[in-house]
């Protein structure tokens, strides 16, 4: 009977050791595979080369903005006259059209090209309130300064979003890997902010309620630290600021 128990214990030990070795082997293989994929992408991606240009793409009037660029920065600001300006590599100048009052801006880079933040910058100047602003950067920053719009939809797939003196009825801003900062944000029917891997910092806002969550980060409201990963206040009011951060901190003042 004792021999049988010893045999069972030895067998269990062998199985446990084998499972641990298998897990290590699988982990090593996964790490090597991930590293190989990253090295392959770096090897086969091409940097944008060629001359750098600075030019105005259009001076036509519009009241809506629909802008998508592959990896540069987007800046929208107030000025005396309508203008869309570009500063960056000549090879990746965005295509700009104005149709039915909508500014449409798109940028294509071709296969395997990578764009760094400094490779391209688009500046959109508007002298009046916009009906809507939709802006997407697949790797650069998005900045709005002294802008009024009925609706805002902003997304950066790898950069920061910065809002300064922005007034809107409703809007949302999402950054996948960057920070979101807002200063003097005025809204009427709510605003949503989300960051995956970055911090959210908001100062001077007129929200009537808050619905905040931070997974893996801290929450501070009016310089008071919040216990736990959520903070809710007047969530059924008309002008709620909703903030979600995964892996970053949230600071509301």
Check residue 40 and give left, alpha or beta (phi > 0: left; psi -120 to 50: alpha): alpha
- Residue among 180, 194, 113, 104 nearest 142 (CA): 180
69 to 35, 95, 119, 147, 184: CA distances (angstroms): 28, 10, 12, 20, 27
Q: Is 168 helix (H, G, I), strand (E, B) or coil?
A: strand
The pairing of beta strand 191-196 with beta strand 240-246 = parallel
Long-range contacts (CB closer than 8 Å, 24 or more residues apart) made by 229-236: 233/209, 234/208, 234/209, 234/210, 235/209, 235/210, 235/211, 236/209
Q: What is the pLDDT along the chain (253 residues), one digit of tens a residue?
A: 444 444 444 455 445 555 454 544 444 544 444 454 344 334 444 566 788 999 999 999 999 999 999 878 999 999 999 999 999 989 889 999 999 999 999 987 655 555 555 578 999 999 999 999 999 998 899 999 999 999 999 999 989 999 999 999 999 999 998 999 999 999 999 999 999 999 999 999 999 999 999 998 999 999 899 999 999 999 999 999 999 999 999 999 9
């Amino acid at each position: 009977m004792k021999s049988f128990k010893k045999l069972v214990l030895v067998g269990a030990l062998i199985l446990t050791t084998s499972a641990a070795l298998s897990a290590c082997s699988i982990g090593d293989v996964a790490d090597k595979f991930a590293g190989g994929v990253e090295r392959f992408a770096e090897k086969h991606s091409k940097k944008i080369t060629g001359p750098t240009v600075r030019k105005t793409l259009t001076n036509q009037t519009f009241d809506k903005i629909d802008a998508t660029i592959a990896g540069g920065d987007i800046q929208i600001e107030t000025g005396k006259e309508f203008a869309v300006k570009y500063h960056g590599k000549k090879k990746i100048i965005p295509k700009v059209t104005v149709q039915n009052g909508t500014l449409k801006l798109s940028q294509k880079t071709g296969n395997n090209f990578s764009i760094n933040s400094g490779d391209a910058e688009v500046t959109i100047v508007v002298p009046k309130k916009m009906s809507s602003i939709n802006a997407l950067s697949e790797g650069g920053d998005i900045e709005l300064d002294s802008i009024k719009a009925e609706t805002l939809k902003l997304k950066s797939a790898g950069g920061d979003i910065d809002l300064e003196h922005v007034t809107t009825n409703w809007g949302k801003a999402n950054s996948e890997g960057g920070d979101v900062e807002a200063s003097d944000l005025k809204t009427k029917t709510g605003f949503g902010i989300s960051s995956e891997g970055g911090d959210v910092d908001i100062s001077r806002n007129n929200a009537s309620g808050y619905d905040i969550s931070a997974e893996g980060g801290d929450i501070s409201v009016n310089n008071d630290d919040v216990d736990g990963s959520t903070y809710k206040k007047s969530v059924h009011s008309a002008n709620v600021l909703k903030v979600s951060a995964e892996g970053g901190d949230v600071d509301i003042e």
